[in-house]
Amino acid sequence: MSTAIPPLSPPLRPTLRQRAFSERTQRTLRRRRVVNGIMLGVFVVAAVVAVLPLIFIFVHLIRLGVGSLSWDFFTKMPTPVGEAGGGLANAIVGTLILIGVASAVGLPVGVGSGLYLAERKGASLANGVRFLSDVLNGLPSIVMGIFAWQFLVRPVGHFSALAGGVALGAMMIPMVARTTEEMVGVVPVALREAALALGYPRWRTSLSIVLRTASAGIVTGALVAIARIAGETAPLLFTAFGNQFWSLSLRQPIAALPLQIFSYAISPYDAWHSLAWAGALVLIALIFIISLIARIATRARFSAGGGD
Amino acid sequence: MVATERTIADDVSLVSPGAAGVVAAPRMRVGSLDAWFGRVHAVKGVHMDVRDREVTAIIGPSGCGKSTFLRCLNRMHETVPTARVEGEVELDGRDIYARGVNAIAVRRHIGMVFQRPTPFPTMSIRDNVAAGLRVVDGPSPSRARTDEIVERALSRAALWDEVKDRLSASATSLSGGQQQRLCIARALATDPTVLLLDEPTASLDPLSTQAVEELVYELRRDMTIVIVTHNMQQAARVSDSTAFFLDGELVEIDDTNRIFTTPRDQRTEAYITGRFG
């Protein structure tokens, strides 16, 4: 529908009041620009300061650790004091095993409870669980270690990889639960309704439509959680304990990178110190890679769902 | 002005059983239906027959309860928290709200398509169409049988030629109009007796709208369709009967021709002549 364009009125001269108003506007505009510039600068500095520690740590680790990195580091066992060479093969494998156990515990429980929290938003049990899982998220990790020690080490009588993995898994649960809840929450109601209208029972709608649609985001959250727990030391101190020897058994103490770094770092030997630096570098690289995968997974989600 | 656009419906009323003088039993019969959202009384005491193999259009201003009414016909209304329904809705003589009737089974017989296309984004085109087959009673159809059903559903939804070479592509790679026809195909795959369309063209461009309208015109040959629409011209073009809703009440229902030429109720006349709504 087009309406006729009204005729242009002749240009009006601004009145005195209008001119004063305009001058005032000009002045405030200048002031706003200056304030804007200052605030922008402050926030840029804050943003840079936020990542500065990571950059320092990275540079420092590379400087001190890269010299000890070699093929042996990844394939050889630790050597006794005074013997040159050796590596952290058992600790690297141990950390991977611990991550595996932690994921086996943390992912199903975390995803399940996150799905419950999202699907039963207003229920009082859901509100309670949500609150407690936030508390759990803030729980010091050493407390989680004590919990695992109490229930999985003390009754058995010895440290084990299983206890360490469970302690780490328990830490993952609240993180995974909250990401799952958020990701399931953003699945459009329309998709849920479409499935229900097709004759999907509610539980199947949740599992095969809602959870599947949210899966990319949940995978990202799970990877972030894994990256967080991969470097945890405190919960492992009295659960997995560490091991100088090669062990793949879940029922025996197992070596882990953070533990090995800890024990090498507090030792008085220079050779072990540099191994600790190298171990820290490998650990941070592992976390870096996991985060990178998480990033790529997120991006894949947005490009796949980018139709709308 | 509206009546002149009624070419498709005029044409089909010659073959539709109701207009040919044969009085068929209604496919659905609604008796004193009331629906609430919390305390809001959205549908008030509606009685209505939905005739077999015809298109029934439901028109009315926003918030008149027409979508809620539609959602009561396949028991989707009750999936919303705080929603409540009272009354009877019969499908082929059986009350779908009777005790012991499973809402999920009802929805498998009465398909529904929504205002915005809702393809499942994680599934391929083929899997989207086959989605309803996975929850049918008894064993799921074999792969070959599924392929047959998918092809038939896509053909009925006039989408087969456009997607037959990329059935395994993501459903989100289709255009909006194609996605909507995909949703119609998905609803058709389980062979429902009634298809409910809730403003199916509200988010589509004119060409896609035309495609969907032509599809509705074709589908009435072998199924019963109820379509909610904001667009009176659309109701005039595609439907055999039209129901006018206002403030949760059914003001009147009649042959589409009559509603748009000589409505009995003044409010209907006021609405279709554009005096409000």
Decide if B79 is inside a domain. Answer: no
Quick one: pLDDT at residue A271?
Answer: 86
From B94, B108, B75, B194, select the one nearest B86 (Cα to Cα): B75
Chain B residues within 8 A of A308 when measuring between CB atoms: 172
Decide if B57 is inside a domain. Answer: yes
Mind giving me the DSSP string for B1-18? --GGG-HHHHHHHTTSTT
Say how many domains are in chain A. Answer: 1
Q: What is the pLDDT of residues A73-108, one digit of tens each?
A: 888 888 887 777 778 899 999 999 999 999 999 999
Mind giving me the DSSP string for A142-176? HHHHHHHIIIIITTTTS--HHHHHHHHHHHHHHHH
Cα B57 to Cα B197: distance, rounded to the nearest angstrom: 9
Quick one: pLDDT at residue B25?
Answer: 80
For chain A, percent of residues with pLDDT exceeding 90: 56
Decide if A241 is inside a domain. Answer: yes
Interface test with A, best of B109, B118, B170 (most A CBs within 10 A): B118
Quick one: pLDDT at residue B7?
Answer: 42
| Alpha-carbon distance B174 to nearest alpha carbon in chain A (angstroms) | 8
Helices (H), A186-269: 189-197, 202-204, 212-213, 215-230, 234-237, 257-265
Quick one: pLDDT at residue A300?
Answer: 64
Structure tokens at B3: 């009546």
Q: Do the chains contact at A198 and B187, CB–CB below 8 Å?
A: yes
| Alpha-carbon distance A204 to nearest alpha carbon in chain B (angstroms) | 9
Number of H helices, E strands in chain B: 11, 10
Decide if A125 is inside a domain. Answer: yes
Least confident of B84-93, B102-111, B136-145: B136-145
pLDDT-based confidence at residue B201 (cuts at 50, 70, 90) = very high
CA dihedral A144, A149, A152, A156 (to 10 degrees): 180
Decide if B44 is inside a domain. Answer: no
Interface test with A, best of B120, B172, B228 (most A CBs within 10 A): B120
Quick one: pLDDT at residue B266?
Answer: 93
Quick one: pLDDT at residue A12?
Answer: 74
Quick one: pLDDT at residue A302?
Answer: 47
Structure tokens at A166: 């469970």
Q: Do the chains contact at B172 and A201, CB–CB below 8 Å?
A: no
Neighbouring-strand partners of residue B41: B36
Say how many domains are in chain B. Answer: 1
Q: What is the pLDDT of residues B210-261, one digit of tens each?
A: 999 999 998 999 899 999 998 999 999 999 999 999 999 999 999 999 999 9
* Of B76, B108, B172, Cβ closest to residue A193: B76
Range of the domain at A137: 71-304
pLDDT for A166 beyond 90: yes
pLDDT for A304 beyond 80: no
* Of A199, A306, A307, Cβ closest to residue B135: A199
Chain A residues within 8 A of B107 when measuring between CB atoms: 196-199
Neighbouring-strand partners of residue B37: B40, B83
In sequence order, what E strands does chain B have?
28-37, 40-50, 55-59, 83-91, 94-95, 110-113, 194-198, 224-228, 241-246, 249-255
Quick one: pLDDT at residue A115?
Answer: 94
CB hemisphere CA count around A52 (13 angstroms): 7
* Secondary structure class of B200 (helix, strand, coil): coil
For residue B140, the domain's CATH number is: 3.40.50.300
pLDDT for B10 beyond 90: no
Cα A67 to Cα A44: distance, rounded to the nearest angstrom: 35
Least confident of A9-13, A211-215, A250-254, B232-236: A9-13
Interface test with A, best of B74, B77, B80, B104 (most A CBs within 10 A): B104
Range of the domain at B224: 3-18+51-74+104-272
Decide if A20 is inside a domain. Answer: no
Decide if B99 is inside a domain. Answer: no
pLDDT-based confidence at residue A3 (cuts at 50, 70, 90) = low
Cα A307 to Cα B121: distance, rounded to the nearest angstrom: 9
Q: Do the chains contact at B118 and A188, CB–CB below 8 Å?
A: yes
pLDDT for B33 beyond 90: yes
Cα B166 to Cα B182: distance, rounded to the nearest angstrom: 13
Decide if B199 is inside a domain. Answer: yes
pLDDT for A164 beyond 90: yes
What is the ipTM for the molecules in this complex? 0.86
Q: What is the pLDDT of residues B45-63, one digit of tens each?
A: 999 999 999 999 999 998 8
Chain B residues within 8 A of A307 when measuring between CB atoms: 121, 170, 172-174, 179
Q: What is the pLDDT of residues A112-137, one digit of tens each?
A: 999 999 988 888 999 999 999 999 99
Computed over every residue of chain A, the mean pLDDT equals: 88
pLDDT for A41 beyond 90: yes
Chain B residues within 8 A of A199 when measuring between CB atoms: 104-105, 107-108, 132, 135-136, 190
For residue A222, the domain's CATH number is: 1.10.3720.10
Chain A residues whose C-beta is within 8 A of a chain B C-beta are: 122, 188, 190-191, 193-201, 204, 208-209, 212-213, 215, 304-308
Q: Do the chains contact at A200 and B114, CB–CB below 8 Å?
A: no
**pLDDT greater at residue B4 or residue A9:** A9
* Of B114, B118, B190, Cβ closest to residue A199: B190
Quick one: pLDDT at residue A301?
Answer: 53
* Of A191, A201, A308, Cβ closest to residue B120: A191
Other C-beta atoms closer than 10 Å to the C-beta of A63 total 11
Decide if B93 is inside a domain. Answer: no
pLDDT for B18 beyond 50: no
Q: What is the pLDDT of residues B124-181, one digit of tens each?
A: 999 999 999 988 877 888 899 999 999 999 999 999 999 999 999 999 999 999 999 9
Quick one: pLDDT at residue A86?
Answer: 79
* Secondary structure class of B252 (helix, strand, coil): strand
Decide if A30 is inside a domain. Answer: no
Q: Which residues contact A239 (CB under 8 A, 6 or more apart)?
A: A145, A148, A149, A152, A153, A159, A160, A163, A164, A166, A167
From B253, B249, B254, B251, select the one nearest B270 (Cα to Cα): B251
- Do A304 and B173 touch, CB atoms closer than 8 A? no
Exposed / middle / buried, residue B224 (Cβ in 10 Å: 0-12, 13-18, 19+): buried
Exposed / middle / buried, residue B111 (Cβ in 10 Å: 0-12, 13-18, 19+): buried
Chain B residues whose C-beta is within 8 A of a chain A C-beta are: 74, 76, 79, 81, 104-105, 107-108, 111-112, 114, 116, 118, 120-122, 131-132, 134-136, 170, 172-174, 179, 183, 186-187, 190
Quick one: pLDDT at residue B14?
Answer: 38
